[in-house]
């Protein structure tokens, strides 16, 4: 396993997935060699998951992101627009309020000549009329062309005050109108002043000055505030001093914390986005011919409330869809890759069986060739030795020499033994090429045992073969059966020490089948290995000539004949291999 695989592995284990990973995850096909990348199932799985997830999720996420942005923008611009409309409407109301009062004053100075206004009684009458018909007027004063307040009606003692060198007075003379900032009056109530000019025939002008209670503004603006959650509608002057009370932005005549927005003839809306403070949406409008700026300030999060709900739904939907899609993709990929893996396992198994039978066939041909070639020189040795013996016995030359006779006889018997071996080998190979036939299992097993007979003798292993009387001949492939029994019996021999016992029991099994049990009293197989012994390349003798293929091939051969093989084993007690074979084999490939 390389470093990257190791990391993935650790990660998987951390998430508790390691144990639940499918079989193919940890599989590495040692025999794939050059084609290894083709059989990297983990990579196949990862690629399948990434590709399908990419194709499915990227458009979904892009769509969701676009929708998110579009909805957010539309909500935001809707908010800005709404604020702008509100500011415009309110500005109109405020302007109207002021121009209404200005027009009233203008009407008074046109309707009454200077002499008429010079009467305190008349002025009181007018103030009373203004209060009842317009409201908001506090006092009224007439200032003569020299800047003296000639007549004053109202709550203060302002008669005779000289305004001639005051800025506002000069402004009225210049522009014909003056509207003051708010100021705190005598009773600590904010007021503002409106003054209008009236030209006299002589080229001189007098001024009518009225004080207004800003309470009427406040009513107007609080009606607006009612419509804005957590917002404020108020007036400031050009220096940023509050002209009307606010809920969140300070008291009247305090300086506002927001910088004074720059002049614009139209209604403007902007956002502040200072770090650490709540972002605000501010709408403002300069009110024409007055020192006032109307401001409506709203807290953005408050306005965006409905958007946050929509956003939660959108993100929730996205999260649920992504989870569902990933779940399905991972599930499908796992199932499919596992199927490919299983198919590949079968392919590898079959490939190995074919490879093995090819090898066996090659070895067989080789052995047959060797046996063949050896027979002729053996015959020569045999005849030569026979001739020597003939000469001794028939001519009587060394007939009495027991040692020489013994030597010649030893040569003859050795050659006979060799001849037996080649005969068996050739016969065995010939059987391997044979297909079906009626077979006596005992005979087959006895022939197989003849190959290990000598070894059994050397190692004092007692062999017994028992066949129940009711076991019929079976129709099967002799060559394959011989290979199966040879493998199982060789394994039993490898497991046994000197003086072991090997028993072969041939019995009638249930239905149309026969069972052959090969029992040894050897070292046994550990419980944890029992499941693996039929897997290819599983071997405990790898260092000592085992290829780990024997039992996997055997199991493949047994299956090929339509049979089954099981194993039972106890460590240090011995092992039973039971092979159940059908009476008739359906011809199958593999």
Partner 1 sequence: MRVLLVDDEEELVTTLAERLSLRGIEADWASSAEQALSKVAAVSYDVAVLDVKLPKISGFALKKRLEEKAPGMKFIFVTGHGSEEDFRTGSAEAGEGYYLMKPVNIEALVRKMDQAIRGTEEQP
Applying CB under 8 A, the residues found at the interface with partner 1 are 371-372, 375-376, 378-384, 386-387, 390-391, 394-395, 415-416, 419, 422-423, 426-427, 429-430
Q: Are 568 and 556 in contact (CB under 8 A)?
A: no
Q: Are 411 and 385 in contact (CB under 8 A)?
A: yes
Nearer of residues 46 and 421 to partner 1, judged by Cβ: 421
- For the CB of residue 460, give the shortest distance to partner 1 in the complex, in Å: 30
- Angle at Cα 284 formed by Cα 281 and Cα 290, nearest 5°? 160
Q: Are 495 and 524 in contact (CB under 8 A)?
A: yes
- Given the structure tokens 């002057």, which residue do they identify? 237
Nearer of residues 415 and 523 to partner 1, judged by Cβ: 415
| Distance in angstroms (rounded) separating the CA atoms of residues 101 and 191 | 14
Nearer of residues 46 and 374 to partner 1, judged by Cβ: 374
Nearer of residues 330 and 419 to partner 1, judged by Cβ: 419
Max CA-CA distance within the chain? 190
- For the CB of residue 589, give the shortest distance to partner 1 in the complex, in Å: 25
**Which residue, 128, 148, 149, 150, is CA-closest to 139?**
128
- For the CB of residue 367, give the shortest distance to partner 1 in the complex, in Å: 12
- For the CB of residue 563, give the shortest distance to partner 1 in the complex, in Å: 25
- For the CB of residue 519, give the shortest distance to partner 1 in the complex, in Å: 30
Nearer of residues 364 and 522 to partner 1, judged by Cβ: 364
- For the CB of residue 356, give the shortest distance to partner 1 in the complex, in Å: 23
- For the CB of residue 391, give the shortest distance to partner 1 in the complex, in Å: 7
Helix 305-394 × helix 550-560 angle, to 10° = 90
Nearer of residues 91 and 389 to partner 1, judged by Cβ: 389
The two structure tokens encoding residue 235: 């007036």
DSSP 86-120: HHHHHHHHHHHHHHHHHHHHHHHHHHS-HHHHT-H
| Distance in angstroms (rounded) separating the CA atoms of residues 538 and 476 | 28
Nearer of residues 442 and 564 to partner 1, judged by Cβ: 442
| Distance in angstroms (rounded) separating the CA atoms of residues 41 and 259 | 66
Nearer of residues 390 and 570 to partner 1, judged by Cβ: 390
- Given the structure tokens 């914390």, which residue do they identify? 257
Nearer of residues 28 and 394 to partner 1, judged by Cβ: 394
Q: Please classify residue 74 by burial: count the beta carbons closer than 10 Å to its beta carbon, then call 0-12 exposed, 13-18 middle and 19+ buried.
A: exposed
- For the CB of residue 373, give the shortest distance to partner 1 in the complex, in Å: 8
Phi, psi torsion values for 19, nearest 5 degrees? -70, -30
Nearer of residues 285 and 371 to partner 1, judged by Cβ: 371
- For the CB of residue 420, give the shortest distance to partner 1 in the complex, in Å: 9
- For the CB of residue 474, give the shortest distance to partner 1 in the complex, in Å: 20
Q: Which residues of 347-356 are buried (b: 16+ CB within 10 A; e: fewer)?
A: eebeebbeeb
| Distance in angstroms (rounded) separating the CA atoms of residues 418 and 371 | 9
Nearer of residues 424 and 508 to partner 1, judged by Cβ: 424
| Distance in angstroms (rounded) separating the CA atoms of residues 547 and 30 | 14
**Which residue, 188, 183, 192, 168, is CA-closest to 97?**
192
The two structure tokens encoding residue 514: 């026969």
- For the CB of residue 388, give the shortest distance to partner 1 in the complex, in Å: 10
| Distance in angstroms (rounded) separating the CA atoms of residues 175 and 185 | 25
């Amino acid at each position: 396993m390389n470093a990257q695989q190791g990391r993935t592995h650790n990660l998987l284990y951390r998430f508790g997935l390691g144990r639940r990973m499918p079989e193919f995850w940890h599989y590495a096909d040692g025999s794939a060699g050059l084609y290894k990348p083709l059989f990297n199932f983990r990579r196949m799985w990862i690629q399948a998951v990434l590709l399908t997830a990419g194709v499915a999720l990227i458009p979904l996420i892009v769509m969701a992101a676009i929708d998110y942005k579009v909805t957010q923008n539309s909500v935001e611009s809707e908010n800005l627009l709404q604020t702008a409309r509100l500011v415009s409407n309110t500005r109109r109301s405020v302007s109207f309020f002021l121009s209404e009062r200005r027009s009233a004053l203008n009407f008074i100075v046109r309707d009454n000549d200077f002499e008429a206004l010079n009467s305190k009684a008349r002025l009181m009458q007018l103030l009373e009329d203004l209060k009842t018909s317009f409201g908001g007027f506090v006092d009224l004063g007439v200032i003569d062309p020299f800047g003296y307040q000639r007549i004053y009606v109202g709550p203060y003692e302002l008669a005779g005050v000289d305004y001639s060198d005051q800025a506002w007075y000069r402004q009225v003379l210049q522009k014909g109108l003056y509207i003051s900032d708010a100021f705190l009056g005598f009773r600590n109530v904010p007021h503002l002043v409106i003054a209008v000019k009236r030209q006299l025939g002589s080229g001189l002008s007098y001024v009518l000055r009225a004080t207004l209670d800003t309470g009427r503004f406040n009513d107007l603006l609080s009606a607006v505030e009612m419509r804005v959650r957590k917002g404020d509608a108020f007036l400031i002057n050009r220096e940023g001093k509050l002209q009307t009370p606010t809920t969140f932005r300070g008291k009247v005549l305090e300086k506002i914390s927001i910088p004074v927005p720059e002049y614009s003839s139209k209604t403007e809306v902007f956002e502040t986005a200072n770090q650490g403070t709540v972002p605000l949406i501010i709408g403002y409008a300069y009110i024409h011919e007055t020192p006032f700026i109307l401001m409506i300030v709203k807290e953005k999060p408050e306005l965006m409330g409905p958007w946050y709900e929509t956003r939660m739904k959108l993100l929730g939907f996205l999260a649920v869809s992504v989870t569902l899609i990933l779940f399905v993709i991972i599930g499908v990929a796992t199932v499919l890759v596992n199927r490919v893996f299983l198919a590949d396992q079968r392919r590898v198994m079959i490939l190995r069986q074919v490879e093995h039978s090819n090898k066996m066939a090659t070895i067989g041909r080789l052995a047959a060739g060797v046996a063949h070639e050896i027979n002729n020189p053996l015959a020569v040795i045999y005849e030569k030795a026979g001739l020597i013996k003939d000469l001794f016995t028939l001519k009587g030359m060394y007939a009495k020499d027991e040692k020489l006779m013994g030597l010649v006889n030893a040569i003859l018997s050795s050659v006979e033994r060799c001849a037996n071996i080649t005969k068996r080998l050739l016969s065995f190979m010939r059987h391997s090429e044979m297909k079906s036939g009626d077979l006596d299992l005992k005979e087959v097993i006895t022939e197989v045992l003849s190959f290990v007979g000598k070894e059994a003798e050397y190692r004092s292993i007692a062999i017994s073969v028992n066949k129940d009387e009711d076991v019929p001949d079976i129709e099967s492939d002799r060559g394959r059966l011989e290979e199966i029994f040879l493998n199982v019996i060789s394994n039993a021999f490898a497991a046994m020490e000197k003086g072991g016992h090997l028993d072969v029991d041939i019995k009638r099994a249930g239905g149309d089948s026969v069972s052959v049990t090969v029992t040894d009293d050897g070292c046994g197989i550990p419980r944890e290995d029992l499941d693996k012994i039929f897997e290819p390349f599983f071997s405990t003798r790898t260092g000592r000539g085992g290829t780990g293929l024997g039992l996997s091939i055997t199991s493949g051969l047994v299956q090929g004949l339509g049979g089954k093989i099981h194993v039972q084993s106890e460590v240090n007690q011995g092992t039973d291999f039971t092979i159940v074979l059908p009476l008739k084999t359906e011809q199958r490939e593999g």
